[in-house]
Structure 1
């Protein structure tokens, strides 16, 4: 289309001036459109972040830090709603049924969107069809923790005792199907020992019993505060390299247990049908939060490994691609929903 300005020889603007004016008008229009879209992408009022685990555990810690920083980026409050139980499935069911308008998001984990599909014969939700992606938050390897008064000073000490009296030692977890459960089951298989699993209703009560000496060990993430305060002793990290937060703690490879790694990832999802503009706005707020140096430091201090922000589609490709590996982890470990 020819501009009417080009047909008017009496117009005082030069071609260069017209081009600049046109660009300015176009940019202004685009800015107004983006502002209007962003403002209407999410409903007003607080956003609920469902967490399928009780308060005080590693998942809750990740959720609360993320909610706080995303709230700052959005200028809109995000409230954490803990709905623990059934290996995270109670919270996942509730999030799947929530109104898909951007007012509800959920902390997705390797358990809710991976392990549970293989652990449970029947779920009341489909982890892919009933959800829409928001983005990746972080990943975190497990750390084997024992009470500070434990006689075990190394993984070798623990394995020696386990082999001497099969079934006597026990490990705690946040419940059947939790990352702690699967980590313990895999550790037992790889190390070739018989150790009893004790499921709790969340990681926090498991940690309480561990500190009290009623549980021999727990394999978990997000326990740096217990370690640094001297309440628990770390024996090994289930990663390919030592954690920056625990440089003195060996990996399981270094401790003599070959091939034992865990990778507990955390992300955000929304109910299926949530409009794409809402997902994009939430994703942008998450990316802003993750780029904050203070947030990166906090995740490192928690024993997590910050990740590069992922777009909505990239994150969903990751979730879908890791599900077969999660199912294989369940199969190899021999873990079952009890």
Structure 2
């Protein structure tokens, strides 16, 4: 019995020491970074742009895994359920990190309890774009068309509760029109639906639609940010167009709750450093993304602010997951 007790005591004493050694050695194997949307989506582009630099800082490869589904909930839930050792982290967006807590009755995770913010990533203003075949050139013309034809038009989105949906819902409220939402798993799929005529409009990050705009296949009518984008100075804001909305389709980096503080700090250092690197910064801005890296605490506070901001909007619109 004494031998067993001694062995148990040694194990108990060794566990914190072993954990400390493991944290000091972190990372000693590749890190999985989950992306809740498909390849080519803006979260995917962001993840790949910053991960190359961050992996050099960490001294380990970062393996990106795309896990699309349920408006980002599938991968974000996997992040929340992962072992809190720092070897499974991910990027996620407004919907699964904030708004879906108000939209889904049985969300399988609580982002405010089950996830550890690592750093805020980037802001992106959504642009409202339509097919060139629709024949409208301004938000005023689009709203007149919707008022005159209730129920005739639909729009593509990348999920319930995202800015992709909320921005069009704001237009619906102003026009008292019924525009059907058609959700897609990624922004490329949503854009393709407009090009093929399956949907008529979409609100997405500029990166997703500008190649088609430049090709003459789509037109941008407005941007969701409070101020016009420097890259698109001729595109008015929603508010300038008579729609009381401003918002960002932001992206952040998170991991499962319970990660050791030194591991969180190491990851924060690597990703913040990546976003502040001049070459990475230039790449992000070329893709209409504005980095705003910071501390885990700042990101956690911002998530709470976003919930307070969008909660009343979601409630007024009666948005719920089907």
Instruction: Return the TM-score normalized by structure 1.
Output: 0.83
Q: Which moved more, 1:125-134 or 1:38-47?
A: 38-47
Structure 1 residues 112, 41: CA separation in 2 closer, same or farther (over 3 Å shift)? farther
Report the counterpart of residue 93 of structure 1 in structure 2.
77
Q: Which of residues 313, 317, 320 is equivalent to 1:333?
A: 317
Whole-angstrom CA distance in 1 between matches of 2:21 and 2:116: 19
2:227 is the alignment partner of 1:241? yes
Q: How many residues align?
A: 301
Q: Which of residues 177, 182, 185 is equivalent to 2:166?
A: 182
Whole-angstrom CA distance in 1 between matches of 2:22 and 2:166: 41
Structure 1 residues 193, 302: CA separation in 2 closer, same or farther (over 3 Å shift)? farther
CA-to-aligned-CA distance 1:31-69 (integer Å, 9 cap, x gap): xxxxx9898252322111111122222222222212223
Q: Which moved more, 1:229-238 or 1:137-146?
A: 229-238
Structure 1 residues 267, 120: CA separation in 2 closer, same or farther (over 3 Å shift)? same
Deviation at 1:191, TM superposition (A): 4.3
Q: Which of residues 306, 314, 322 is equivalent to 2:306?
A: 322
Report the counterpart of residue 52 of structure 2 in structure 1.
68
User: Whose helix proportion is higher, 1 or 2?
Assistant: 2
Whole-angstrom CA distance in 2 between matches of 1:38 and 1:246: 48
Contact 1:147 1:232 in 2 (8 A): yes
Structure 1 residues 280, 226: CA separation in 2 closer, same or farther (over 3 Å shift)? farther
Structure 1 residues 201, 217: CA separation in 2 closer, same or farther (over 3 Å shift)? same
Query: Higher Cα Rg: structure 1 or 2?
Result: 1
Report the counterpart of residue 272 of structure 2 in structure 1.
287
Deviation at 1:75, TM superposition (A): 2.7
* RMSD of Structure 2 on Structure 1 (CA): 2.1
Structure 2: gaps spanning 5 or more residues: 1-19
Whole-angstrom CA distance in 1 between matches of 2:316 and 2:77: 27
Report the counterpart of residue 310 of structure 1 in structure 2.
294
Deviation at 1:229, TM superposition (A): 4.4
Contact 1:245 1:302 in 2 (8 A): no
Structure 1 residues 56, 165: CA separation in 2 closer, same or farther (over 3 Å shift)? same
Contact 2:161 2:314 in 1 (8 A): no
Report the counterpart of residue 83 of structure 1 in structure 2.
67
Whole-angstrom CA distance in 1 between matches of 2:140 and 2:299: 38
Contact 1:174 1:204 in 2 (8 A): no
Contact 2:146 2:175 in 1 (8 A): no
Report the counterpart of residue 103 of structure 1 in structure 2.
87
Contact 1:41 1:281 in 2 (8 A): no
Whole-angstrom CA distance in 1 between matches of 2:23 and 2:106: 40
Whole-angstrom CA distance in 2 between matches of 1:187 and 1:302: 26
Contact 1:42 1:103 in 2 (8 A): no
Structure 1 residues 253, 186: CA separation in 2 closer, same or farther (over 3 Å shift)? closer
Structure 1 residues 254, 72: CA separation in 2 closer, same or farther (over 3 Å shift)? same
Whole-angstrom CA distance in 1 between matches of 2:170 and 2:114: 29
Whole-angstrom CA distance in 2 between matches of 1:167 and 1:156: 18
2:40 is the alignment partner of 1:56? yes
Whole-angstrom CA distance in 1 between matches of 2:130 and 2:56: 37
Contact 2:228 2:235 in 1 (8 A): yes
Whole-angstrom CA distance in 1 between matches of 2:124 and 2:25: 31
Report the counterpart of residue 227 of structure 1 in structure 2.
213
Report the counterpart of residue 9 of structure 2 in structure 1.
none
Structure 1: gaps spanning 5 or more residues: 1-35
Deviation at 1:74, TM superposition (A): 2.2
Whole-angstrom CA distance in 1 between matches of 2:216 and 2:63: 31
Q: Which of residues 129, 133, 155 is equivalent to 1:149?
A: 133
